[in-house]
Amino acid sequence: MADNSGTVLITGGAGYVGSHVAKALRTAGYETVIFDNLFAGHSEAALGSRLIVGDITDVDSVRKAIRESGAVAVMHFAAWLSVSDSIKDPLGYYHNNVIGTLATLEAMATEGCHYFVFASTCAVYGEPHQLPLSEEHVTEPISPYGQTKLTIEKVLPNFEHSYGIRSISLRYFNAAGADPEGELGEDHSPEIHLIPRALAAAIGKTPIDIFGEDYPTPDGTCLRDYVHVSDLSSAHILALKHLVSGGASNIFNVGTEQPYSVKEVLAVVERVTGYRVACHQAPRRAGDPAVLYASAERIRAVLGWKPSYPDLERIINDAWQWHQKHPDGFTNDNHAG
């Protein structure tokens, strides 16, 4: 494993972030086995890596996947991730995100798999009291989605103490962009993220809603920190190497530290695509703080992480390249959701 030769089980690896991380792991010399129920994922996104279609809430399936693949680490992306859906259906979110992750950890404990990298989120913080958000900021999620992720962060020390599972939780800010080689991109259905929605609007699909233009920000729209999915991938690989080389469990923000407003994003989308983005004003959404951006000081200091693509124009351009080639997403779309 220390020589990048081990197998990593990637739950949710047929989804957006997981598929990019899986590709980056293979490029770095690891074997990957993807475990995904294809609720929101795409078999094409596995890019030919082994794909086990299964559900993380089924502990026996996860155990079997770990045992048969010989995985020494799990990277855990499988989750539902819509803040607004989680407000409508907290039970479903607790079931999938908490019970499913506990089942994954149970499978790891019983199969002796001891490294866990967890896709967490800045939604664990809730309304910011200070900016930028550092990992010491109080965690008071304002959505069930954020609470499900925080719940897992909180149980991880127990699993380390009793079962020897060391972990890194990566609190991503807004994942964005696409594989610079153009093989992978973002394809959610329905799409809930600003950049792919704006790109779709730019080519004449559904106009986008701007949720709130009366926030206390310079142009009245929300500010967010967009991190290139390739930079998320490098953070995951550094996290795994840290654990395997004996590094302590930790929690890290992953963001560029640079906030952009919704209107700034739309202006860059228009510049990159050359098209106008049709948009409508819409009311604020529950669970949307005005401004969120990261301090990435801890991940820089401990893991030596530095984003290679911090520039918003580059992030949007990579997304646009993929979007132009795949205006309807992955072609052999067989997801169930």
Ligand X SMILES: NC(=O)c1ccc[n+]([C@@H]2O[C@H](COP(=O)([O-])OP(=O)(O)OC[C@H]3O[C@@H](n4cnc5c(N)ncnc54)[C@H](O)[C@@H]3O)[C@@H](O)[C@H]2O)c1
Which entry of 125, 145, 226, 293 is annotated as an active-site residue? Answer: 145
Rank residues 1 and 264 by Cβ distance to ligand X and give the closer one: 264
Residue ranges that bind ligand X, judged by CB under 6 A: 11-12, 14-18, 36-41, 55-57, 77-79, 81, 96, 100, 119, 121, 172, 174-175, 188
Catalytic residue at 172?
no
Rank residues 169 and 317 by Cβ distance to ligand X and give the closer one: 169
Beta carbon of residue 15, minimum distance to ligand X (angstroms, whole number):
2
Beta carbon of residue 252, minimum distance to ligand X (angstroms, whole number):
13
Beta carbon of residue 223, minimum distance to ligand X (angstroms, whole number):
15
Beta carbon of residue 172, minimum distance to ligand X (angstroms, whole number):
4
| Closest by Cα among 212, 218, 159, 175 to 79 | 175
Structural contact between residues 293 and 225, judged by C-beta atoms closer than 8 angstroms? yes
C-alpha span between 114 and 295 (Å, rounded): 28
**Residue in this structure with the two tokens 């990048």, named with its chain if needed:** 4
Contacts of 326 by beta carbon, 8 Å cutoff, 6+ apart: 185, 187
Task: Encode 242-254: b = buried (16+ Cβ within 10 Å), e = exposed.
Answer: bbbeebebbbbbb
Rank residues 14 and 235 by Cβ distance to ligand X and give the closer one: 14
Beta carbon of residue 330, minimum distance to ligand X (angstroms, whole number):
11
Q: Which residue of the chain is nearest ligand X when measured via CB? A: 15
Rank residues 15 and 307 by Cβ distance to ligand X and give the closer one: 15
Rank residues 16 and 125 by Cβ distance to ligand X and give the closer one: 16
Active-site positions?
Answer: 145
